[in-house]
């Protein structure tokens, strides 16, 4: 096992770190008990983490904390700054009006926690994707008034994907504000999840990557980035496997887009892989293993790959040392752990 550098010449910034308000956890438990939404993925994931097992209790204690325990875990892991965001599925299981109201309260609460530790935290804003006008307004308020650094989109919203133009106001706002949207995983939608559930493949082991990679590709193929060419999206988990598919995506989409086989697929201004290289950034969340991290740096570019732990969902302090052993030199490590995150999330040096 590789040991982390006790005094590295850079700060370590973790860019996909989850937080949940106590109110949100209570609402999730209520939804689980009353089964008011038809989302088997939510029932599977939060049915367990809303329970009373030792693992669930420790997880929920950590995810709600913005003070002593989280800071100690960061210190013990060697993390200097965390980019915090409302945990998946965030407000996206509620009706649009309720979700918009909750997002305002949770963004305020997150900003208050950041204000208590401004040298340790920055944050991303939650919003209701199916309430596009209010989503854009809340992103703008959160960035301009609360000082948050972008938005968090927990992939599909009750089976709805944001490649539909009626939901694009929030992307327009993000481009205008020059802040990124983090496209974070969700469990597969009700229409997608059945083959995953029996063998426990619905969440982080595989389902997250399938669902979130699908959403990212839908955004690209829809022409979103031709409409908003400066928009930046962040993908965790080394890109939900998409960097490994660049050649095949280009080859197949290139043929499909001119075949008129699908009425909603048209030629784009650039190759699909170019959007993945120019409109997306990537983090190592949940992947404390050097080979895929180095692969993304190689095929996408070293200026678009950042460190993330995925705390507390995957809390593995030893991964810092494993990734610091990458043979990319001191400048490469500084870029990976610090510089890229500072540039994207506008994190100043104190």
Select which of 73, 163, 202, 310 is catalytic: 310
* Of 270, 172, 272, residue with least CA distance to 216: 272
Q: Judge residue 42's burial from the number of C-beta atoms within 10 Å of its C-beta, 0-12 exposed, 13-18 middle, 19 or more buried.
A: buried
Residue 322, SS3 per DSSP: helix
Cα 53 off chain centre by? 26
Rg (CA), the chain: 19
Write the DSSP symbol of residue 3. P
Sheet containing 181-183: give its strands across.
151-153, 181-183, 233-235, 280-283, 305-306
CA distance 131 to 322: 42
> Residue 95 catalytic?
no
DSSP letters along 92-127, please? TTS-HHHHHHHHHHHHHHHHHHHHHSTTTEEE-B--
Cβ–Cβ under 8 Å, residues 328 and 301: no
Q: How far is CA 117 from CA 24, 151, 290, in A?
A: 22, 20, 31
Separation of alpha carbons 45 and 334, rounded Å:
35
CA–CA separation, 18 vs 20, rounded Å? 7
Q: Which residues sit opposite 19 in a β-bridge?
A: 86
CA distance readout (Å), 236 to 62, 183, 186, 231: 21, 8, 12, 17
Strands (E) located in 49-93: 81-86
Catalytic residues: 310
């Amino acid at each position: 096992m590789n040991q982390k550098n006790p005094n590295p010449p850079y700060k370590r910034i973790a860019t996909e770190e989850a937080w949940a308000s106590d109110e949100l956890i209570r609402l999730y438990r209520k939804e689980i008990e009353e089964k008011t939404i038809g989302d088997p993925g939510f029932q599977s994931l939060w049915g367990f983490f809303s329970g009373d097992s030792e693992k669930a209790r420790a997880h929920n204690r950590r995810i709600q904390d913005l003070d002593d325990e989280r800071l100690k875990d960061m210190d013990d892991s060697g993390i200097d700054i965390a980019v915090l965001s409302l945990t998946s599925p965030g407000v996206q299981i509620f009706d649009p009006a309720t979700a918009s109201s909750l997002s305002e309260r949770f963004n305020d609460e997150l900003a208050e926690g950041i204000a208590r530790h401004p040298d340790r935290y920055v944050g991303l804003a939650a919003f209701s994707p199916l309430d596009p006008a209010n989503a854009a307004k809340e992103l703008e308020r959160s960035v301009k008034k609360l000082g948050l650094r972008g938005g968090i989109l927990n992939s599909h919203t009750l089976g709805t994907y944001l490649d539909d133009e009626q939901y694009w106001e929030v992307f327009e706002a993000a481009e205008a504000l020059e802040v990124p949207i983090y496209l974070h995983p969700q469990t597969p939608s009700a229409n997608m999840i059945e083959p995953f559930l029996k063998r426990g493949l619905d969440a982080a082991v595989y389902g997250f990557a399938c669902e979130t990679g699908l959403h990212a590709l839908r955004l690209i193929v829809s022409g979103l980035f031709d409409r908003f060419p400066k928009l930046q999206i962040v993908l965790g988990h080394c890109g939900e496997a998409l960097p490994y598919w660049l050649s095949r995506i280009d080859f197949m989409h290139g043929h499909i887009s001119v075949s008129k086989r699908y009425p909603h697929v048209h030629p784009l201004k650039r190759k699909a892989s170019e959007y993945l290289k120019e409109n997306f950034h990537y983090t190592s969340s949940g992947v404390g293993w050097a080979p895929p991290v180095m692969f993304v740096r190689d095929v996408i570019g070293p200026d678009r790959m950042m460190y993330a732990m995925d705390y507390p969902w995957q809390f593995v302090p030893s991964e810092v040392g494993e990734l610091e052993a990458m043979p990319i030199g001191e400048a490469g490590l500084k870029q990976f752990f610090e510089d890229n995150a500072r540039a994207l999330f506008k994190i100043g040096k104190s």
